Amino acid sequence: MKKNIINIGIIGFGKTGKERFKILQKEKKIKIHSICDKVEFKRKYKKITYTNNPEIIIKNKEIDAVFIAVPNFLNKQLVISCLKNNKHVFCEKPPTLNAKEMREIIKIEKQTKLKLMYGFNHRHHKSVQKMKKIIDTNQLGKILWLRGRYGKSVDKDFFDTWRSKKKYAGGGILIDQGIHMIDLFLYLAGNFDKVQSSITNLYWKSNIEDNAFVIFENSKNKISASLHSTMTQWRHLFSLEIFLEKGYLVLNGLVTSSKSYGDEVLSIVKNRTVTPEAKWKKVTLKRYKIDNSFKNEVNEFFDSILHDTPIKNGNSNDALELMTIIDKIYKKK
């Protein structure tokens, strides 16, 4: 790394890889050195090296950090190869296909002083950051329970993609979308030691689930949570509800690049009167129109590299906790 400029390689140049590229090319802290994808794509920039072989990037000593945006089943080996070749790594979700793979990565990571971060950008939405601040400062008391719904509509064309094949994706709607909501549960409420789940295929009849119904419990803090992740509600929907001793937080909608989830609106409600007249004295609605979550999380990654500080969000321990819960939901041992 020269003059505090980080040389970047990107492995995987599909939809997510291109979204990362748009953000990275505007960053003053970095220089995009190389891009790799198995599929030929339009080469716009003369100063960037293009290849279809990830080893060209992984073994290039000029490259300091690698962004990985590939089909899920490739994540583990690419992350390990990057770490073994002295590369900082930013990898898209899911971290791995299971907790066993994540433990293998952590074993390698501990032998290095490199930074490893996983892309859970929902933590970096301003609405979620506002919820986190209210919870951490005890403004509404302790959390009683959480409820999350996260789903989307798909058509038959979806089943021509790698995401519809269990051996490539690791699962269906849960590991594709529900994983984000579980990560928010962990981020806002802490870990859960008990998990009960119903994984179903009600409509599409493929080898991945189209619905996941999950109940979580934190025995120590007596917090419960429920998740419904689905691709049979025929529309895109995001809803996160957190009920606390002195009020509640409800986030409906999410600003994303696809603009499919509607307006991002956070309701902050406090000072309830005594039952049965559940009247609320103060209701605050906050609307968020801009999504800088991708930008904010890559900045955290770069700052960690430049200042040699720990990754706070989406580190390998976060990833292991998450994949351990995913295993319990899928009932893997």
Q: pLDDT tens-digit profile of 130-152?
A: 999 999 999 999 999 999 999 99
Q: Which residues pair with 215 in a beta bridge?
A: 196, 226
pTM of the model: 0.95
pLDDT band for position 290 (cuts 50, 70, 90): very high
Domain boundaries, the chain: 6-122, 126-290
**Over residues 31-52, mean pLDDT:** 88
Longest dimension (CA), the chain: 68
The pLDDT of residue 279 is 66
d(CA 219, CA 236) in angstroms, rounded, equals 32
- Lowest pLDDT segment from 63-77, 126-140, 246-260: 246-260
What residues contact 160, with CB distance under 8 A and at least 6 apart?
none
Residue 286 near residue 12 (C-beta atoms within 8 A): no
Q: Does domain 6-122 have CATH number 2.40.50.100?
A: no
The residue written with tokens 């998740």 in the block is: 227
d(CA 320, CA 333) in angstroms, rounded, equals 14
Which CATH number among 2.40.40.20, 1.10.357.10, 3.30.360.10, 3.30.450.70 corresponds to the domain 126-290?
A: 3.30.360.10
Q: Which two tokens stand for residue 304?
A: 């960690």
The pLDDT of residue 4 is 85
pLDDT over 60 at 333, yes or no: no
Q: Which two tokens stand for residue 281?
A: 């004295």
The pLDDT of residue 44 is 80
Residue 96 near residue 102 (C-beta atoms within 8 A): yes
Q: What is the pLDDT of residues 216-242, one digit of tens each?
A: 999 999 999 999 999 999 999 999 999
- Lowest pLDDT segment from 1-15, 34-48, 53-67, 161-175: 34-48
